[in-house]
Amino acid sequence: MIANLRVVRTTFELDVKQQAVGLFMIFGVLIQPLLIAIMAIYMLVARDPSRGIYIVVGSGMTGLWTSLLFRGTFNINAERFMGTLEGIVASPSSLAAVVIGKTLASVTLSLLSMIFSYGLASLIFRFPLNVAQPVPFLLSLLVMVFAFISFGLLISPLMAVNLSLSGWVNALEYPMYILGGFLFPILLLPGWSNPLSYLLAPYWAARVLHTTSSGVATPADILLSWGMMLILGGVYIAASYRLFEIVLHRARVHATLSLM
Amino acid sequence: MNAIEVRDLHRVFRATIGTIRRRTKEVTAVDGISFDVREGELFGLLGPNGAGKTTTVKMLTTLLIPTGGSATIMGYDVVRDADSIRPRIGFIFGGERGLYWRLSAKDNLRYFADLYHVDPDMAKRRLPRLLELVGLNGREDEKVEGYSRGTRQRLHVSRCLLHDPQMLFLDEPTMGLDPVGARELRQVIRNLVAEEKTVFLTTHYMFEADALCERVAVINHGQIVALDTPEGLKRHVEDLSVIEVEVFGIAQQMVDSLRQIPEVDTVSVENRDQKQAVRVHSKLGSAIVPEIMHRLDGNGVRLGRVTVREPTLEDAYVRLVGGEA
């Protein structure tokens, strides 16, 4: 257990290091989010400023989800291309520990880049981004990191089976924006789709971040969202544990751990 | 107990071909091989490209599940007991992949030490010794992307020794290295055997197997065609002479024509820059030279030097794999 936790920590540390030394990272983590934030806030200045924080949190979550999805897909494939996937699988460590470390790195970098870009853009445009309930909001962010990592754990093992599956995983990007209620409330969707949203931890994350930032969250609401994120996260982790076993066995049967 | 026991091991790969009419194509990579490797032995698996060497290593290192037969490593089954085998073995696959190029050698080693659950204090103590063993001390903070191929390969060796495994699988470790780099790496391998590690080495260089291995299994088309000491393998060609003819451009049909001479055992062609060396094995020795020259010269092939010599271990290998080396 301690050894696997050490793997999570080192993977996180070295993944951040690897991403940080790439020039693309400066664009992806600093410049691009800043440009998007400037555009978003520029548009908000002219419209209803009271809706500002809702849109910033929503667009931030879409960014986080996209990053999680693409990095989750890319992580395993990148290891495969570098020829390191076999080294990881043949080690006594769990592949899940490596995936957790990498997902944590992706989520942390995305979160920091969004806080930086929206913070800076709001300073430039003197557009207040007030979070009405800051303590519950920050705690919700932490629970959300757990929920997102557990969802990432569910996605990543599929990539160990087959390269072509990545196309299907990419198709999950937009449905989550809608079903997760990132940009508008799910009450605007047909009633039959709501139970689907309730099964998604990112929906509960979006819900609690929106309500705490807007100041309409009751303690019961907050606890319900946290509870659902923790329960669903636990379910995802349990499912992914079994999924890792299945896909790694299949990868050894079908010889898909390496490209050559 | 043997370090490795392999019995009737098979591996078939299935690939789907076609877009609309999809059908499954089967390729047998390993076709019923059996052998044992003793503890502390340096055992070689020698064969041409595509003979089944890497597939065998991948099954023994638990990365591939065999489609038939069985294999045990230190008494553990490669399918059922993968978790028990993994901490006890180290492996290197030939080539430059398998490292994080954007990280330094030190970070790479630190990461693999964690992956292999090496105690951090122990890893700190082992790191300088391993870097010295492979001649990388002083360069450990440089990024791997700046290393030469040989340096990366040496880093691979230190990576696979981090957790002090009892057994090492080295799959064509000198592939693509310059002669000096390859010689240095062979010395590292000798040092490992001196430290009582069991080493399973695959190579398609006969001289490498000759220089390093106590016993060599020759594999071709997924089957073991000979298993002996290097000296024992040489006896396979004691009765033959080797006629080597330098030519400048030779067509496949000419090679086939030489193979049709009844007294010819095997024919192989080695490319040497602008020219090729056609190597003919025959019991007739120099008596067969006129017939070879007649066939080549009569078809307008430009000829160079002709030599007749005693067979070497490489010739034994060529004979065993039917001129495919």
Flag whether pLDDT at A228 surpasses 90: yes
Q: Is A84–B98 a contact, with Cβ atoms under 8 angstroms apart?
A: yes
* Low-confidence winner among A203-212, A217-226, B207-216 (lowest mean pLDDT): B207-216
Quote the tokens at residue B94.
């030939």
Question: Kind of pairing, strands B89-93 and B167-171?
Answer: parallel
Question: What is chain B's mean pLDDT, rounded?
Answer: 88
Number of helical (H) and strand (E) elements in chain B, helices listed first? 11, 14
Q: List, in order, residues 6 or more apart from B277 with CB less than 8 Å away.
A: B244, B245, B246, B247, B269, B270
Same domain, B254 and B192: no
Distance from CA of B83 to the nearest CA of A (A): 7
Q: Is A90–B65 a contact, with Cβ atoms under 8 angstroms apart?
A: no
Confidence of residue B39 (pLDDT cuts 50, 70, 90): very high
Flag whether pLDDT at B41 surpasses 70: yes
Confidence of residue B130 (pLDDT cuts 50, 70, 90): confident
Confidence of residue A234 (pLDDT cuts 50, 70, 90): very high
Flag whether pLDDT at B324 surpasses 60: no
Average pLDDT, integer, range A27-42: 74
Q: How high is the pLDDT of residue B235?
A: 82
Q: Is A17–B107 a contact, with Cβ atoms under 8 angstroms apart?
A: yes
The angle at the Cα of A91, spanning A85 to A97, to the nearest 5 degrees, equals 75
Residue B270's nearest CA partner among B238, B308, B222, B314 is B314
Residue B134's nearest CA partner among B86, B91, B187 is B187
Q: How high is the pLDDT of residue A260?
A: 44
Residue type for position B241: S
Same domain, B110 and B11: yes
Interface residue B120 vs chain A (CB under 8 A): yes
Percent of chain A with pLDDT over 90: 30
Q: Which residue does chain A place closest to B118, by CA atoms?
A: A3
B196 lies in a domain? yes
Confidence of residue A199 (pLDDT cuts 50, 70, 90): very high
B131 lies in a domain? yes
Same domain, B168 and B293: no
Mutate to test the interface with A, among B114, B149, B163, B164 (most CBs of A within 10 A): B114
Same domain, B139 and B80: yes
Q: Is A14–B103 a contact, with Cβ atoms under 8 angstroms apart?
A: yes
Convert A78-132 into a string of H (helix), E (strand) and C (coil).
HHHHHCCHHHHHCCCCCHHHHHHHHHHHHHHHHHHHHHHHHHHHHHHCCCCCCCC
Quote the tokens at residue B291.
């017939």
B86 lies in a domain? yes
B325 lies in a domain? no
Interface residue A2 vs chain B (CB under 8 A): no
Distance CA(A43)–CA(B287), nearest Å, equals 93
Supply the CATH number for residue B280's domain: 3.30.70.260
Same domain, B38 and B139: yes
Same domain, B195 and B250: no
Flag whether pLDDT at A72 surpasses 80: no
B284 lies in a domain? yes
- E strands present in chain B: 4-17, 23-37, 42-46, 68-73, 76-77, 89-93, 167-171, 198-203, 215-220, 223-228, 241-248, 264-272, 275-282, 302-309
Interface residue B153 vs chain A (CB under 8 A): no
What distance, in Å, lies between the first and last C-alpha atoms of chain A?
A: 33
Q: What is the pLDDT of residues A160-182, one digit of tens each?
A: 566 666 677 778 888 888 999 88
Same domain, B12 and B101: yes
Same domain, B210 and B244: no
Residue where one domain finishes, among candidates B175, B201, B228: B228
Percent of chain B with pLDDT over 70: 99
Confidence of residue B136 (pLDDT cuts 50, 70, 90): confident
Residue where one domain finishes, among candidates B213, B228, B243: B228
When mean pLDDT is compared over A52-61, A200-209, B303-312, the highest value belongs to: A200-209
Same domain, B187 and B281: no
Same domain, B276 and B216: no
Residue where one domain finishes, among candidates B228, B253, B282: B228
| Domain with B246 in it | 235-320
Flag whether pLDDT at A76 surpasses 90: no
Q: Which residue does chain A place closest to B97, by CA atoms?
A: A83
Mutate to test the interface with A, among B10, B59, B61, B97 (most CBs of A within 10 A): B97
Same domain, B195 and B167: yes
B52 or A69, higher pLDDT: B52
Percent of chain B with pLDDT over 90: 39
Q: How many domains does chain B have?
A: 2
Same domain, B289 and B154: no
B27 lies in a domain? yes
